[in-house]
A = this chain, B = another copy of it.
Amino acid sequence: MTYHPDHNVEIMTDCHNICLQTVSHCLDKGGDHAQTEHIILMLDCAEICQSAANFMLRNSELHARVCTICAEVCDRCAKDCERLAAGDDMMQQCAQICRRCAETCREMSRQTGRPRHASAA
């Protein structure tokens, strides 16, 4: 069983996963962590990362366009997590993974045509 998903898809999936996990963490913490704007932004980020990954996985011609907006959402989410990251390992990690995903998506957004990713076989 040696499935190695495309590295860029993996980065987007990681970002989706950590954002969704961190929502529960933030709700548990309460206060600024549980403000509507912050929770909504993390849900936005989780969703658009999933969509960007799915466009990649479908080998869609339009993946670069979705990656453009995904980079913007990830940048915003990273910034908002950094604001809350003092002494909070999970927020720090979430911010880092959002930054990495934003960079990857910016690179992908410059591609034309179908994603140039390794096949699954």
Name A's B-contacting residues (CB within 8 A). Answer: 1, 3, 5, 9, 13-14, 17-18, 20-24, 27-28, 30, 34-37, 39-41, 43-44, 47-48, 50-51, 53-55, 57-62, 65-66, 68-69, 72-73, 76, 89-90, 93, 96-97, 100, 119-121
Contact = CB atoms under 8 A, between A and B. Distances in A.
A118 B62 CA distance: 31
A5 to B, nearest CB: 5
In the complex this chain forms, how many copies of it are found?
Answer: 4
A18 B47 CA distance: 18
A100 B1 CA distance: 9
A57 B90 contact: no
Contact of A27 (B21, B35, B89): B35
